[in-house]
Structures are given as structure tokens and as C-alpha cells.
């Protein structure tokens, strides 16, 4: 990875404080994600838990946003292209103060602003509506193009699933992003190796994924997607790479933090019940 560490501009102590804070947020988010899905009785724990560090690091260590003014024109943007990880996004947004945390347990309930998949019209801080996979990167390209046109300094961050990279639209967007030299755009791939029907490489193998992004004109980093330090460093590299968008392939574990969910495809779209939920909560609060 590049030489530019995140600590160049800050002192070591400020830096480790930031990392500590993000780790605390991650613990809180994991717990809330489990409670939310458990209370809803449906949802997607596996792919929500695999991206906790990525989304938390972005909102608490990288992006400039104003929770009290969610549509602040200069804000950095985040697009959750793998919309089924909505619980993680909601928990992070609530932690950041976009809306009260007591809304979290209303996830997926009739009348709730927290829809099963992100709904830009209902939830403060949600940029675009996603849930139909493969569309987020295109919308992010549009936002990044507008940023260039308006000579704004904001950055656009996207999170894709590795299974999601099977959608052709992802690659149409990837081509456009490098064509327009969108260096204000970066995409994380939550590389947890699983989709619904099984292992990504067995269902429809997108590998070598890093080479594909490179071939589409992107800069590519590969990081441990649960290592906050590494994620911060990758984000800072992406922010300082002129001329091209950056793809950050984040190696993750689906269901991360809950032993019986880790790497298990059954937990893609199943809510933990009773005993399972309390065991899961115990594990994520301990860690």
C-alpha cells in the first residue's frame, strides 16, 4: 500500500484516539444491528456484520458530513449499493446523530422511516434508494460527475458486495468512472466470499477481482476489511490519488463477530431468534 499513512497530518495520539473511537462505534453498531434484525424478525445479518468496520470508519474517520444538515451541499456522499446491509447504515447514521437511536428497533416495521432497504425519501442521511443490486455505483458516478462540474471538493464513497459485482451494470459504471477520471470516487468491495446460493466463486466467479478493476482503469488496494487502521489508510490513499477512481477490495468475514454466523451462508437473510440473539449479543459486546 502507499506510503501516505493517515497519521501524517495528525499526531500519533490523536490518531489512535480516532481508531479507538471507531472501534467503539463498531461494537455499538454490531449490537444494534443484531437487535434491529432480531426485533424485525427478518433482515440480512451476514452481509450487515461484514461491513460494520467499513461504514463506521467512513462516517467516523473519513467523511465530512453534518448530521443536523443532511443535505449540506459540500458533504461527502456514501452510497450503500448492497442495500440489504441497511441495518448497518442505519445504526451508523443514528450513532452519528442523523436521527434518534430509538428509531432503530422500528426497522422493517409498517410506517417506519427505516425501510427494509434504504429509502432516500424517508431516512435522513440516506443519499439514494438501493436494494436492487448493481445500481449504486452508477448513481455514485453521477454524483462524482456533478462534483467535478460544480468544482466542489466532496468525495463519493460506495460499498458493493462481491456477489453484486456479477451485475453487468457495475462494470458499465466502472468504465465510466475511469473514463471521466473520477478521482473523487472510491468503491469498497465487501469481499466476504459468500452470496445467497453459496460461495461467490462457485456461483459465478468474478475473480481475479482486483485485476478486473485494474483493467477498467481503477487504482486498486486490497485490505483487511475489519482492520480500522488499514481502512483509514486505504481511504486516505484513495483521497490522494489524482486522475483515477480507487477500488478498495476489503477482505471480510460474512457474519463477523458472531461465531455461529461467521462464514455461514444460512445467515445471509435470516433473523436470530431468542437464544440465538442473546448469544450473538453476548459475543459482540464482549469483543
Ligand X SMILES: Cc1ncc(C[n+]2csc(CCOP(=O)(O)OP(=O)(O)O)c2C)c(N)n1
Please tell me whether residue 264 binds another protein under the rule CB under 8 A. Answer: no
Minimum CB–partner distance for residue 163 and another protein (Å): 5
CA torsion 100-61-89-112 (nearest 10°) is: 20
- To which residue does cell 481508531 refer? 19
Task: Please choose, from the candidates 253, 252, 260, the residue with its C-alpha nearest in 3D space to the C-alpha of residue 282.
Answer: 260
Task: Please choose, from the candidates 164, 251, 252, the residue with its C-alpha nearest in 3D space to the C-alpha of residue 210.
Answer: 251
- When the beta carbons of 32 and 115 are compared against another protein, the nearer one is 115
Site track for another protein across 88-127, x = CB under 8 A = --------------------xxxxx--xxx-x--------
> Is 133 in a helix, a strand, or coil?
coil
Q: Is 215 exposed, middle or buried (0-12, 13-18, 19+ CB in 10 A)?
A: middle
Please tell me whether residue 32 binds another protein under the rule CB under 8 A. Answer: no
Please tell me whether residue 164 binds another protein under the rule CB under 8 A. Answer: yes
Minimum CB–partner distance for residue 168 and another protein (Å): 6
Please tell me whether residue 132 binds another protein under the rule CB under 8 A. Answer: yes
- When the beta carbons of 47 and 125 are compared against ligand X, the nearer one is 47
Please tell me whether residue 45 binds another protein under the rule CB under 8 A. Answer: no
Among ligand X, another protein, none, the one that 125 touches (CB under a kind-dependent 5 to 8 A) is: none
- Long-range (24+ apart) CB contacts under 8 A made by 123-128 are 123/90, 123/93, 123/99, 124/67, 124/70, 124/93, 124/98, 124/99, 125/65, 125/67, 125/70, 125/93, 125/96, 125/98, 125/99, 126/80, 126/89, 126/93, 127/77, 127/78, 127/79, 128/79
For another protein, which stretch binds (CB under 8 A), given 5-13, 90-98, 130-138, 211-219?
Answer: 130-138
Residues 27-66 that bind ligand X (CB under 6 A): 46-47, 50
List the one residue from 7, 26, 35, 40 that touches another protein (CB under 8 A). 40
> Is 199 in a helix, a strand, or coil?
strand
Please tell me whether residue 136 binds ligand X under the rule CB under 6 A. Answer: no
Phi, psi dihedral angles at 77 (to 5 degrees): -110, 145
Residues 113 and 122: their CA atoms lie apart, in Å, by: 5
**Sign of the dihedral through C-alpha 201, 204, 209, 215:** positive
- When the beta carbons of 147 and 161 are compared against ligand X, the nearer one is 161
Please tell me whether residue 130 binds another protein under the rule CB under 8 A. Answer: yes
- When the beta carbons of 14 and 132 are compared against ligand X, the nearer one is 132
Is 127:140 a contact under the CB 8 Å cutoff?
A: no
- When the beta carbons of 112 and 264 are compared against another protein, the nearer one is 112
Please tell me whether residue 225 binds ligand X under the rule CB under 6 A. Answer: no
What residue ranges bind another protein (CB under 8 A)?
Answer: 40-43, 83, 108-112, 115-117, 119, 129-134, 163-164, 166-168, 195-197, 200, 203-204
What residue ranges bind ligand X (CB under 6 A)?
Answer: 46-47, 50, 82, 84, 131-134, 161-164, 190, 192, 194-196, 200, 254, 268
Amino acid at each position: 500500500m502507499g506510503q501516505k499513512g493517515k497519521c501524517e497530518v495528525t499526531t500519533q495520539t490523536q490518531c489512535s484516539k480516532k481508531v479507538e473511537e471507531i472501534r467503539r462505534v463498531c461494537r455499538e453498531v454490531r449490537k444494534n444491528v443484531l437487535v434491529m434484525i432480531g426485533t424485525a424478525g427478518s433482515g440480512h445479518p451476514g452481509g450487515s456484520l461484514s461491513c460494520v468496520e467499513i461504514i463506521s470508519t467512513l462516517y467516523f474517520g473519513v467523511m465530512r458530513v453534518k448530521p443536523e444538515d443532511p443535505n449540506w451541499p459540500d458533504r461527502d456522499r456514501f452510497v450503500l449499493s448492497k442495500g440489504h446491509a441497511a441495518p448497518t447504515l442505519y445504526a451508523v447514521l443514528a450513532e452519528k446523530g442523523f436521527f434518534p437511536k430509538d428509531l432503530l428497533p422500528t426497522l422493517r416495521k409498517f410506517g417506519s422511516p427505516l425501510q427494509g432497504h434504504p429509502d432516500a425519501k424517508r431516512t435522513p442521511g440516506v443519499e439514494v434508494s438501493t436494494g436492487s443490486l448493481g445500481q449504486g455505483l452508477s448513481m455514485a458516478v453521477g454524483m462524482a460527475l456533478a462534483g467535478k462540474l460544480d468544482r466542489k471538493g466532496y468525495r463519493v464513497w460506495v460499498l458493493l458486495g462481491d456477489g453484486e459485482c456479477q451485475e453487468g451494470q457495475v462494470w458499465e459504471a466502472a468504465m465510466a468512472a475511469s473514463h471521466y477520471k473520477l478521482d473523487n470516487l472510491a468503491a469498497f468491495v465487501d469481499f466476504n466470499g459468500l452470496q445467497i446460493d453459496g460461495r461467490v466463486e462457485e456461483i459465478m466467479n468474478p475473480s481475479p477481482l482486483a485485476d478486473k478493476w485494474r483493467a477498467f482503469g481503477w487504482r486498486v488496494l486490497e485490505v483487511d476489511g475489519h482492520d480500522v487502521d488499514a481502512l483509514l489508510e486505504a481511504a486516505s490513499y484513495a483521497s490522494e490519488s489524482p486522475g483515477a477512481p480507487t477500488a478498495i477490495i476489503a477482505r471480510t468475514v460474512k457474519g463477523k463477530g458472531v461465531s455461529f454466523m461467521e462464514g455461514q451462508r444460512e445467515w445471509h437473510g435470516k433473523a436470530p431468534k431468542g437464544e440465538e440473539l442473546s448469544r450473538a449479543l453476548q459475543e459482540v459486546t464482549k469483543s
